[in-house]
Amino acid sequence: MDAPVPELETRANACADALEDADSVLLASHIDADGLTSAGIASTALERAEIPHDVVFSKQLDDEEIAGIAAHDHETVLFTDFGSGQLETITEHEDDGDFTPVIADHHQPADADTEFHLNPLLEGVDGGKELSGAGASYVLARALLGESATDLAALAVVGAVGDMQTKEGELVGANVEIAAEGVEAGVLDTAKDLALYGTQTRPLPKLLEYASEVYVPGITNDQGGAVRFLDSLDLDLHDGGDWRTWASLDVDERQTVVSGLVKRAVRNGVSTDKVTDLVGTTYTLTEETPGTELRDASEFSTLLNATARYERGDVGLAVCLGNRDGALDAARELLQTHRRNLSEGLAWVKDEGVTVEEDLQWFHAEDRIRETIVGIVAGMAMGAEGVESDRPIVGFGNKNDEEVKVSARGTPALVKQGLDLSVVMGEASQTVGGDGGGHTVAAGATVPKGQERAFLDAASDLVDDQLR
């Protein structure tokens, strides 16, 4: 079997050789869905290669975090889903003999470089759309283990989906090749199906009521309307006294529901382009139990994000490594807390409103919304009443007494017009003594408290340059 991403084969082989030569490895990874799956893939690969290692997580890899990593007693450090953007500091520690860095990342690299650096952007592969951090870790695992690593492709797909790398409902580029290896290994299934979040776990009325992908009048955000629609389909959609889930329907039942949804949408004036968004490519983890969060890549990634937002990377990693008992229960409890906090945060934004300016819109939650979920709330607020969809939204939340977390969200349409929030967050934060980065459609930063207005002014100028 050929390498999944041939452009990266030489770099991947060099990184694999460096890991095989190490007495022990410290695996340092970002703490989000992509970072957790990256760590799960890398840790499994190191375990199978019989390379002793420890794992640490970080929300933001700044100078202090890197110094803490250097203090560990490991000669080799494997950075996954971050490291490329912090190469200047990392190479300083390398030059001082603190550790040998090996990096598997997909973010924009800094000007400095190091010998063992696996990043798709260095070889002309788009790290924002075609290969996630988990994908880079998978490429490294394949170089380390060969075809015996192909079962890890399922986790790589979860990471890509969690990193918002689907385009019009499906993965593209190198991610497609990785998904194909997962299908061939028997751990993944791809199919055209209803492209709504929650097909495995949400009762059908909730699935349709909460669907934000396509707004269908009389069903979306309308519990009674969703129930009346389902009751009108002449199907047995109950299991005892409970509503069934989409995953429990057979092919004919699914076709009936989709047909009814399409007819309802068209009758209510939903555009053809939007109607087609009801169906997309789904990614099913075939070895996971049907009807659970782990069966669907999107729901799996949401579960992992919940563990990350509450700084329980240990729980998320354990789930990625196959713990289906205590860790999964703990992750589900964190997900319930996460959903409650998101609901309360969104309600606060709706009540308080956002400040709409010429080039962007913003809100400052201070301590009312946990800083680790401000970005998610900002994304959920896009399209709500009083929130514009033609400009990015910026959310602030207090990180500590001296710093404020900034999270920005855009839309695919704005990205097509030239928006790159990674650049906006990075450059605007630096003008006020902060630091930031991320992706084109979603990015974040940390800035000194009291510098929010100056940051917004700088960000506005950058957005204006990109879009106008």
Per-residue pLDDT tens digits for 119-137: 999 999 999 899 999 999 9
Residues 337 and 375 in one domain: no
Taking alpha carbons only, the member of 407, 404, 405 closest to residue 422 is 407
Residues 61 and 41 in one domain: yes
Any domain includes 248? yes
Band (pLDDT 50/70/90 cuts) for residue 2 is confident
Any domain includes 1? no
Domain count across the chain = 3
Q: What is the mean pLDDT of residues 215-235?
A: 91
Per-residue pLDDT tens digits for 237-284: 998 889 999 999 999 999 999 999 999 999 988 888 888 888 889 999
Any domain includes 52? yes
Residues 113 and 47 in one domain: yes
Per-residue pLDDT tens digits for 12-51: 999 999 999 999 999 999 999 999 999 999 999 999 999 9
Any domain includes 348? no
Q: Which of 161, 185, 209 is the last residue of a domain?
A: 185
Any domain includes 396? yes
pLDDT averaged over every residue in the chain: 93
Per-residue pLDDT tens digits for 46-91: 999 999 999 999 988 989 999 999 999 999 999 999 999 999 999 9
Residues 363 and 279 in one domain: no
Residues 24 and 172 in one domain: yes
Residues 276 and 405 in one domain: no
Residues 115 and 248 in one domain: no
pLDDT of residue 239: 87
Residues 58 and 128 in one domain: yes
How is residue 203 annotated by DSSP? B
Lowest mean pLDDT segment, chosen from 277-281, 353-357, 418-422, 447-451: 277-281
Q: Which of 185, 205, 224 is the last residue of a domain?
A: 185
pLDDT of residue 411: 87
d(CA 296, CA 308) in angstroms, rounded, equals: 19
Q: Which of 316, 341, 366 is the last residue of a domain?
A: 341
Any domain includes 346? no
| In the predicted structure, residue 146 carries a pLDDT above the cut 80 | yes
Residues 290 and 210 in one domain: yes
Per-residue pLDDT tens digits for 87-117: 999 999 999 999 999 999 999 899 888 999 9
Residues 436 and 359 in one domain: yes
Which pair of structure tokens corresponds to residue 10? 């030489």
Taking alpha carbons only, the member of 256, 457, 239, 217 closest to residue 360 is 457
Q: What is the mean pLDDT of residues 152-156?
A: 98
Range(s) of the domain holding residue 121: 6-185
Residues 21 and 162 in one domain: yes
Q: What is the CATH number of the domain that holds 360?
A: 3.10.310.40
**Residue 133: strand, helix, or coil:** helix
- Cα Dmax for the chain: 72
Residues 305 and 371 in one domain: no
H or E segment at 242? strand 242-243
How many of the other CB atoms lie within 10 Å of CB of 272?
8
- Which pTM value belongs to this model? 0.86
Q: What is the CATH number of the domain that holds 158?
A: 3.90.1640.30
